[in-house]
Amino acid sequence: MTILMAIESSCDETACAVVKDGCEILSSIVSSQINVHTLYGGVVPEVASRIHVENISTVVCEALQQAKVTMDDIDAIAYTQGPGLIGSLHVGVQAAKAIAWAYHKPLVPVNHMTGHIYANRFVTELQWPLMALVISGGHTELVWMENDWDFKVIGTTRDDAIGEAYDKVARVLGLGYPGGPKIDKIAREGKPHYTLPTPKTASPYDFSFSGLKSAVLQMIQREEKKDETINVADAAYCFQETALQSMVKKTMAAVAEYRPAMLVLAGGVAANSRLRVLMEEAMKEYPEVKLVIPPLSCCTDNAAMIGAAGYVAYKHGLFGGFDAAADPALLMPGEE
């Protein structure tokens, strides 16, 4: 049995978790859930290092308490080294190093993106080769894994992340924040009333959402000029269909080419209900490929996923030193 403490502070959240054997969550504490004095109900991100510093001790103590373990039970400390916002990352890195030093525990640096992928370990055993579609407010990536802990990014966004496009389109449509669930919900009442351009990229597995975002904005302005009000549900529907179908199509092209045993979704946007339907539909063509769509609790930023990925890194003996620093532009393991 291996028990890891995991620390994540790559952007908005300060989080700590205790994870057993990389697949069982003993505790998972995220600061936004316990922070009662968050202004505007969490809309404004708490990214300042000072705020992470205030949160970190609380989440670490809470994680130990809820897991009903002491530091004696912990085998190693996993932490997010990057990518993310430099100041936020620093706090988690320093906390992990301080705890590891004080309690003589090995350190396991983890890439945030690998955490999103390995979060699926809380749902099922992973099978190789594996294709992962990591989609969130900050990421849109297709990652090919020939084997366990073997990463190759085959596609990425050229401009905006998918979750960011959702948030921004929701804002111009007056739907508010967070944009993902709001668009997903109202789009159910929408009709294919508008036509939006399909995103184009040079590489078949790359993504682009900036042009689509601009097209929605221009469409609204055109309607305003004609003194017509835009039908929000229809606009949300058309944006969502265009964005998701383009993403599903590229993912299917990758599945057809690489032939994985498993396709996993990861990141906050994986919770989108329409995406789930489209993915399941498209994957009927590949019955031999297992599709894994994690529940929302596994999708958003948390420390448990760092514990899941950290466990695999730990088993591979990938320990970090006390001289390791936060890396805001950290590449995936093996990437150049």
Q: How many CB atoms lie within 10 A of CB 172?
A: 17
Is 114 or 136 the residue whose CB approaches another protein more closely? 136
Angstrom distance (rounded) from CA 135 to CA 300: 10
**Positions of E strands within the chain:** 3-8, 15-20, 24-30, 76-82, 107-111, 130-135, 140-145, 152-156, 262-266, 290-292
Instruction: Catalog residues that contact another protein under the rule CB under 8 A.
Output: 10-11, 39-40, 44-51, 83-87, 136-138, 156-161, 163-164, 168, 171-172, 210, 213-215, 217-218, 328-329
Is 124 or 203 the residue whose CB approaches another protein more closely? 203
Taking the complex as a whole, the smallest distance from the CB of residue 49 to another protein amounts, in Å, to 7
* Interhelix angle 86-103/49-67, nearest 10 degrees: 40
Distance between start and end Cα atoms, the chain: 34
The answer to whether 296 and 271 have CB atoms below 8 angstroms apart is yes
- C-alpha Rg value of the chain to the nearest Å: 20
The answer to whether 86 and 330 have CB atoms below 8 angstroms apart is no
Taking the complex as a whole, the smallest distance from the CB of residue 116 to another protein amounts, in Å, to 13
Taking the complex as a whole, the smallest distance from the CB of residue 198 to another protein amounts, in Å, to 15
Taking the complex as a whole, the smallest distance from the CB of residue 217 to another protein amounts, in Å, to 5
Taking the complex as a whole, the smallest distance from the CB of residue 263 to another protein amounts, in Å, to 24
Is 210 or 297 the residue whose CB approaches another protein more closely? 210
Is 155 or 260 the residue whose CB approaches another protein more closely? 155
Taking the complex as a whole, the smallest distance from the CB of residue 26 to another protein amounts, in Å, to 29
Residue 171 CA, chain-centre distance (Å), reads 21
Is 42 or 129 the residue whose CB approaches another protein more closely? 42
Is 281 or 335 the residue whose CB approaches another protein more closely? 335
Q: Please report the DSSP string for 287-333 in residue order.
A: TTSEEE---HHHHSS-SHHHHHHHHHHHHTT--B-TT----TTPPPT
